[in-house]
Amino acid sequence: MKMLVTPILCACLAAFAPAGTAAAQPDGHQDSDGRSPRRQAGPPLSVREIERRVVPRLPGAQYLGFDYDPATEVYTLKFLRNGSVIWVDVDGRTGAIVRKTGD
């Protein structure tokens, strides 16, 4: 019985060691005050600013609306053109199109 205690204890400690490190630095990029550089940049662009930049880039498409994910700070804009739905993911910080699906 004593022979099993040490290996089991070591296995349990090894299993929890990486989890503690990952929890301390979830994105791996933190400044000395513990905040990520992305969070220090201020609030994301407004949806009106995102629409002003992106809607003209899809001529002939009907703009249907948007969704915003605060965790990733990505706006997803939905368009309709010729019966096909187009999804456009836009970086909320820069207004740059990250991904476009459909068409």
For residue 38, what pLDDT is reported?
Answer: 54
Give the count of domains, the chain: 2
Contact 86, 61 (CB under 8 A): yes
Question: Token digits for 35?
Answer: 């905040």
Same domain, residue pair 33 and 56: no
Question: Token digits for 10?
Answer: 């070591």
The domain that contains 52 carries what CATH number? 3.10.450
Q: Which domain holds residue 76?
A: 43-103
pLDDT digits (tens, 9 = 90+) for 6-30: 566 555 555 555 544 444 445 455 5
Q: What is the pTM of this model?
A: 0.61
Same domain, residue pair 75 and 95: yes
Taking the C-alpha atoms of residue 99 and residue 89, their distance in angstroms, rounded to an integer, is 5
State what percent of residues in the chain have pLDDT above 90: 58
Same domain, residue pair 73 and 93: yes
For residue 74, what pLDDT is reported?
Answer: 98
DSSP string, the chain: -HHHHHHHHHHHHHHHHHHHHHHH-SSS---TTS--HHHHT-SPPPHHHHHHHHGGGSTT-EEEEEEEETTTTEEEEEEEETTEEEEEEEETTT--EEEEEE-
Split at pLDDT 50, 70, 90, the class of 45 is: very high
Residue bearing the bigger pLDDT, 94 or 28: 94
